[in-house]
Structure 1
């Protein structure tokens, strides 16, 4: 209605809003010129009714009832042309309009209603064609992305581009699963997410796209007939009808993406994995991480963060990997300790624990590890748990994650007795694992083991010989050979390498090189790989 009053055509008629000014945001669906007292029964809502009030003059009761009938018909506004029936605004109509919340506009100069009707109807028709064109363009581009196998982030980026404002996907707990758009605007939103999410919940309607007066658009996201989240566009500057179209087409595309996507990895899993990846690799600035972590539902104020990596021992179970769900169930048993859980690589799960600063972080990690191992053991799963050092700032988490990954990898090769392994528990093996990607260590392996790297049989003999504490009888039994045969193989190793296996310094170098070689062979993808 406000747009109609701003038309150049209307200005010369000196419009004045005398009641209901708080409702000028109402959409005008059509114009209707009528002098009948019972015109309300002919309306279906959203009309702007134009009248001179000829049949209302001198009857205050009729004036009040007329406005009340307009309220029941849910009109956009009533426009009264002064001059024929009324010289000034009729006070009974004004009071009734204010009470009913119906915008009442008077025109102080003669106005040809036909010209206004023609102008507004032309704009409405043009707008509807434009909305249909927008709908087709948005649907085509998003469908093409979905059918090409695009990621959720790519689809959301396209939605943000069409809407020209930040776009955020949240679940029903208001946890942010994905976001797109201008980074500065997103950071401002996520920084104050607790307040913003409350406003989103208030704005959200019951099943339909909702457009707020500030350009916020909330569209429900459904799967198999049940709502599971919302898409929110913050600050759309186009017409309200365009906003509804964008919300509807975008929610359809996101529903299709969810159906076409990996059914074993929901958006919650993908969101957690993406956030943990950025934390572990340092690809996002610390101030961005704080807002994203808070919006993901992880407490950040006065907390200690401890990365934990859980690796399975033995073959992975067939079918869907339910380790993240089992770990989340174990975490739920520890009130006060929160965690963000995600898969890492083909095997293993990462957890970022958020522990209150006043608690003993080591004790909390120990309790969580005991519960996690017990939960998985009940499903016939044996795992090792490796933890990094406690961090009071999120920008320290990257180094701690690297430590946790390598500790867990080292613990797989030599599982500790304790429920959770730390860097101090894996000793030399852990140090070697931490340095396994260093060029100097790779060169060291080549210098120490070079001739044996092409002879796997002799390399295994050396590994067994050292693993048994240089017990030749035990090593011979492992390889099912006689002691003289083992002696000959050990002599071959000494000859190829040019060393003396009774020299402790040379033997130590060989042992370190073997540990480094094992670490490289067992290298698996971590959060940053």
Structure 2
């Protein structure tokens, strides 16, 4: 069997292939070249999943110094030492050299593998296989190497495809959420873009249960200190600046290598940041999209939405929640103002995206349950918001601590009510409105498109609306004042900005034109609703 020995003067050149694309020992044993030798696993069968990086043929006991690790050694053992201690040392050398397995062909030198070799292999965690029939070692190496090279070719092709995909995304300026979506689709695994503070900026879970995001910040920080084989993490950085990290959770192998795919995605994201240095900060981007999705009911389930909001730092234990609508301040200013009063805010997109300073921005506010968002707290919040220009604020109902899903539903209701009231029309002189203090206006705003409300308003106010513009506006102002102050005509006259005598004259005219009595409670209630609907549509 001397023809099977290999010169010891040169190492074997082997291609560099990512381990996930290499054949396992179990797969190698199923190839015809080895299968016809009737292989028998004598030690460490549990390690047959180890990857074979190359096949080395040698009978020399000194072959260990020629190995780089990951090889499968084919041998007849014809030049191996005979003394048991020497055999133990030889197997230990093989294990130290990084062999994944030894295949000994019986017949040429051994009729059976010595027990000392089997014991030494088992102790070293080295797979030991005996062939009971002669095989052509050259056929074995050709088959295994062909598989490795084919996999390498497929990997190179896949890497080119991935590189082309993410280069195109970078050149097109694709947004971060789309890049993450394509990464998740390519890897068929959850992919998360996180900030430097480990907050979830964008996440595509690829159909995996949302529980993978539970306690994300703490678990992500911990994984940075303790290796986690289920995660692949790549920093998103360029020119010495790091903006965050891409994290891929456990998933199937990819021909290009999971790490290589994730690196291409990170490059696309980094190029996007460099191309638009003044663009929106990723932290604000992730929070804004989260709030937008929640307010628009774009989420799969309540548990999933609650987990995403918790991952963003809200719905924490001992915190109360509020829905706000803010106009005249940006997200960064609102978040800073919230921090000023010991709260935390997540901001969505202003309803008028073409004029964000004028649009109403949905805001989810979390504050300690011991803090009341009123009085001096609101004054401090507004003072921090007023960095220039007019600021307006609508405050939704408070949601006290409860089960996360229940809190989420009620918080979104609070935000919807705040937005409805904000978009209903006039603001008070203070620039602050409270949903609890304006239930009718909020109700009308929520149902402003209902044809029955419109018909009611037209029916009740038609005689006044048909008057000339100046006369009509004077009487509508008087009517709005009296329904707002039904028991105090003096206050109503003041609100209408006219003297009491003029105000009474207009009330008499209203009763005559409308054919009603303005001291009738039911009539006043119906007129109040009609005026609110009319003003909501006129604003």
Instruction: State the Cα deviation string for residues 39-64 of structure 1 (Å, max 9, x = none).
Output: 33333333333233333221445444
Q: Tell me which residue corresponds to 2:181.
A: 157
Note the residue ranges of structure 2 that are not aligned, 5 or more in a row. 1-23, 482-490
Q: Tell me which residue corresponds to 2:162.
A: 138
Q: For 2:285, which of 241, 266, 270 is the aligned residue? A: 270
Mean CA deviation greater in 28-37 or 363-372: 363-372
Post-superposition offset of 1:22: 5.5
> Conserved in 2, the CA contact under 8 Å of 1:71 and 1:100?
yes
Q: Tell me which residue corresponds to 2:381.
A: 372
Post-superposition offset of 1:398: 3.5
Post-superposition offset of 1:129: 1.1
Q: Tell me which residue corresponds to 1:289.
A: 305
Q: Tell me which residue corresponds to 1:209.
A: none
Residues 64 and 380 (structure 1 numbering): CA distance in 2 closer, same or farther, change over 3 Å?
Answer: farther
Q: Tell me which residue corresponds to 2:63.
A: 39
> Conserved in 2, the CA contact under 8 Å of 1:464 and 1:475?
no
Residues 395 and 414 (structure 1 numbering): CA distance in 2 closer, same or farther, change over 3 Å?
Answer: same
Q: Scaled by the length of structure 1, what TM-score is found?
A: 0.71
> Conserved in 1, the CA contact under 8 Å of 2:188 and 2:206?
no
Instruction: Say if 2:333 is the partner of 1:323.
Output: yes
> Conserved in 1, the CA contact under 8 Å of 2:320 and 2:366?
yes
Note the residue ranges of structure 1 that are not aligned, 5 or more in a row. 206-211, 477-485, 523-529
Instruction: State the Cα deviation string for residues 338-384 of structure 1 (Å, max 9, x = none).
Output: 6544444424544434568xx45x73677864553354357898553
Residues 47 and 301 (structure 1 numbering): CA distance in 2 closer, same or farther, change over 3 Å?
Answer: same
Partners of 2:116 and 2:420 in 1: CA distance: 80
CA root-mean-square deviation: 4.8
Residues 97 and 196 (structure 1 numbering): CA distance in 2 closer, same or farther, change over 3 Å?
Answer: farther
Partners of 1:293 and 1:119 in 2: CA distance: 53
Post-superposition offset of 1:289: 1.9
For the residue of structure 1 that corresponds to 2:291, the secondary structure is helix
Residues 132 and 288 (structure 1 numbering): CA distance in 2 closer, same or farther, change over 3 Å?
Answer: same
Partners of 2:73 and 2:390 in 1: CA distance: 72
Instruction: Say if 2:20 is the partner of 1:8.
Output: no
Post-superposition offset of 1:125: 0.9
Partners of 2:76 and 2:201 in 1: CA distance: 55
Q: For 1:247, which of 262, 269, 272 is the aligned residue? A: 262
Partners of 1:437 and 1:387 in 2: CA distance: 21
Q: Tell me which residue corresponds to 1:479.
A: none
When Rg is computed on C-alpha atoms for both structures, the one with the higher figure is: 2
Instruction: State the Cα deviation string for residues 171-206 of structure 1 (Å, max 9, x = none).
Output: 4555433333553x233534686998689657857x
Residues 280 and 474 (structure 1 numbering): CA distance in 2 closer, same or farther, change over 3 Å?
Answer: closer
Post-superposition offset of 1:119: 0.4
Partners of 2:321 and 2:495 in 1: CA distance: 48
Q: Scaled by the length of structure 2, what TM-score is found?
A: 0.70
Equivalences, count: 482
Instruction: Say if 2:448 is the partner of 1:425.
Output: no
> Conserved in 1, the CA contact under 8 Å of 2:41 and 2:130?
yes
Alignment of 1:227-242 (within 5 A): 228-237=244-253, 242=257
> Conserved in 1, the CA contact under 8 Å of 2:394 and 2:435?
no
Residues 116 and 322 (structure 1 numbering): CA distance in 2 closer, same or farther, change over 3 Å?
Answer: same
Post-superposition offset of 1:126: 0.8
